[in-house]
Amino acid sequence: MQIWSTLNNQQQQNLLSRPAMADNQKLSDIVSDIIEQVKYQGDEALLALTEKFDGAKLTSVKFDEVSLEEVSGLISAKVKKAIDQAYTNIKSFHQAQYPQDVKVETAPGVVCELKHAPLASVGLYIPGGTAPLPSTVLMLGATAQVAGCARKVLCTPPNKDGQIASEIRYAAKLCGIDEIYLVGGAQAIAALALGTDSIAKVDKIFGPGNSFVTEAKQQVSRIPAGPAIDMPAGPSEVLVIADKDANPVYVAADLLSQAEHGADSQAVLVSDSEALIEATKQQVSAQLATLSRKDIAQQAIQHSRYILTGNIEQAFEVSNSYGPEHLIVQIENARESLDKLTNAGSIFVGQWSPESAGDYASGTNHVLPTYGYARNYSSLGLADFMRRYTVQELSYLGLQNIGDAIMDLADAEGLDAHRQAVALRLQSDLCAENKGGNAS
């Protein structure tokens, strides 16, 4: 346990620092080599790399999906119900985010509009590994569906038999994902970015992944005219603010939920109660022993941090300074603190709001800025699957109204043709019959 007020500025900063993300030249070289292979050998490279990394010998990366009815027969009724409920809630929350177009007449005869359109094609990456992640399919897929993206492409690595989990297939089907490709890792990202004979390239790539996937996303996002990506990656993290009345059983469970994600997960408890901190530590030890992923959680817990503050306001300051991906507030009148908590990806209010609610089923998106990026990147939402563009229409009167301003600014910036484009129109008699026309 660290007592916040006894630390100097530098020590406080160190306590809140994240593990360094080292510049790994070897990783970068491996990934750029994979991208080159996909660029020049296309599907052939995808099949070879899938055999090499996933042990699956495929003849095509395209996965031929069956009907929703057939896929739903492959999973248990319990899991189907869970996925259905999560899907409904995620859809409901993201539908409510649908943006309004804006139309303003900024000056008489000068109409400016902000319009929104779905991205035409999106690539959704779903990691493989020991457990399937249908929740991530829902977070990305349902949001893309609500946005109205015409092409939704899912890439995920197959197992040795060339199969993918039925839970992923069912979630994808619910979200209207019609293209599934059995390819993972950096090669999947390269295919989504550059296109191959089988996989047409996409406009934006979303989703979590291992260090090869995140490095590949970074690299392809720098290709001129290449795809956009969702956000920079970093290890997952939670900060819990708790007071003396918080339940240490719940606090410990929330810290461990984060810890079991990975050995590099960050779990931070900030409290103004030493008793709560001590009780939580004991609970963490007790609960840890029961977890199937206890080895991973144990490693993460070893570098967890317990910070004692002089009062709860100081705890808010610590949290704002850290800027956690997940922020859980288990204090009296938690909602009242929201205005003071300015820097987090997603905030969980009160004792009945565990992080796992947002990870799975409440409706909020679990793709969140981490590693301090909460301060300058947004939680994933509908806006990330759409683009904004503007429209303007001036009438002759409108151009008259702002013509002098345009011409004088063009003069100030030394751009003659900009001035001329206005001057020639206002001087002209060629279209006299149209001058009375409106902007509409």
Catalytic residues: 325-326
Is residue 387 involved in binding a second copy (CB under 8 A)?
yes
Q: Give the C-alpha separation, 267 to 240, whole Å.
A: 8
Please name the amino acid found at residue 198.
S
Nearer to a second copy, 163 or 342 (CB): 342
Closest separation in Å from C-beta 48 to a second copy: 26
| Cβ distance to a second copy smaller for residue 6 or 440 | 440
The answer to whether 66 contacts a second copy (rule: CB under 8 A) is no
**98/382 Cα distance (integer angstroms):** 7
Q: Which C-beta is closer to a second copy: that of 11 or that of 420?
A: 420
Shortest gap between Cβ of 58 and a second copy (angstroms)?
25
391 binds a second copy per the rule CB under 8 A: yes
156 sits near a second copy (criterion: CB under 8 A): no
* Residue 12 to residue 336: CA distance in whole angstroms: 26
* Binding track, positions 4-23, relative to a second copy; x by CB under 8 A: --------------x-xx--
> Which residues, including other chains, have CB under 8 Å from residue 373's CB and lie 6 or more apart?
231, 232, 234, 323
- Between 306 and 396, name the residue whose CB sits nearer to a second copy: 396
Report 341-370 residues binding a second copy (CB under 8 A).
342, 344-365, 368
Site track for a second copy across 190-209, x = CB under 8 A: -------------xx-----
- Tell me whether residue 366 is annotated as binding: no
Nearer to a second copy, 49 or 193 (CB): 193
CB of 377 to a second copy, least distance (A): 6
Out of 3, 66, 74, 415, the only residue in the binding site for a second copy (CB under 8 A) is 415
Written as six digits, the tokens of 22 are 């080292």
326 is in an annotated binding site: yes
- Of 122, 102, 290, 118, whose CA–CA distance to 201 is shortest? 122
274 known member of a binding site: no
CB of 30 to a second copy, least distance (A): 18
Hey, what are 196's tokens? 């191959």
> What is the widest separation between alpha-carbon atoms in the chain?
86
Residue type, 123: G
Cα 158 from Cα 105, distance rounded (Å): 54
In angstroms, rounded to a whole number, what is the distance separating the alpha carbons of residues 155 and 191?
9
Shortest approach of a second copy to residue 114 CB, angstroms? 6
Q: Which of residues 208-247 bind a second copy (CB under 8 A)?
A: 218, 222, 224-225, 227-228, 232, 234, 247
| Total interface residues for a second copy by CB under 8 A | 138
The reply to whether 406 sits near a second copy by the rule CB under 8 A is: yes
Q: Do the beta carbons of residue 143 and residue 411 sit within 8 Å?
A: no
Cβ nearer to a second copy, comparing 41 with 218: 218
Cβ pair 270, 240 in contact under 8 A = yes
Instruction: Judge residue 140's burial from the number of C-beta atoms within 10 Å of its C-beta, 0-12 exposed, 13-18 middle, 19 or more buried.
Output: buried
Q: Shortest gap between Cβ of 310 and a second copy (angstroms)?
A: 24
Give the residue with the Cβ less far from a second copy, 59 or 78.
78
The pairing of strands 204-206 and 228-229 is parallel
Helix 134-147 to helix 166-174 angle (10° resolution) is: 10
| Cα R_g (the chain), whole angstroms | 26
When binding is defined by CB under 8 A, the residue of 167, 230, 243, 272 that contacts a second copy is 167
Nearer to a second copy, 160 or 335 (CB): 335
Place of tokens 């603190």: 337
- Site residues (CB under 8 A) for a second copy, limited to 283-302: 287, 290-293, 297
Candidate residues 64, 69, 413, 429; the one interacting with a second copy per rule CB under 8 A: 413
Member of 64, 412, 429, 436 binding a second copy (CB under 8 A): 412
What stretch of H or E contains 64? none
In whole angstroms, what separates CA 201 from the centre of its chain?
A: 20
Q: State yes or no: 413 annotated in a binding site.
A: yes
Q: Which residues 85-144 are close enough to bind a second copy by CB under 8 A?
A: 85-86, 88-89, 92-93, 96-97, 100, 102, 104, 106-107, 110, 112, 114, 117, 119-120, 130-135
CA 335 to chain centre: 25
3-state secondary structure 295-348: HHHHHHHHCCEEEECCCHHHHHHHHHHHCCCEEEEECCCHHHHHHHCCCCCEEE
Is position 262 an interface residue for a second copy (rule: CB under 8 A)? no
* Structure token digits, residue 170: 């069912």
Is position 125 annotated in a ligand binding site? yes
What span, in angstroms and rounded, lies between the C-alpha atoms of 311 and 261? 30
Q: Which residues are annotated as a binding site for NAD(+)?
A: 125, 187, 210
Q: Which residues are annotated as a binding site?
A: 125, 187, 210, 236, 258, 261, 326, 359, 413, 418
Q: Which residues are annotated as a binding site for substrate?
A: 236, 258, 261, 326, 359, 413, 418
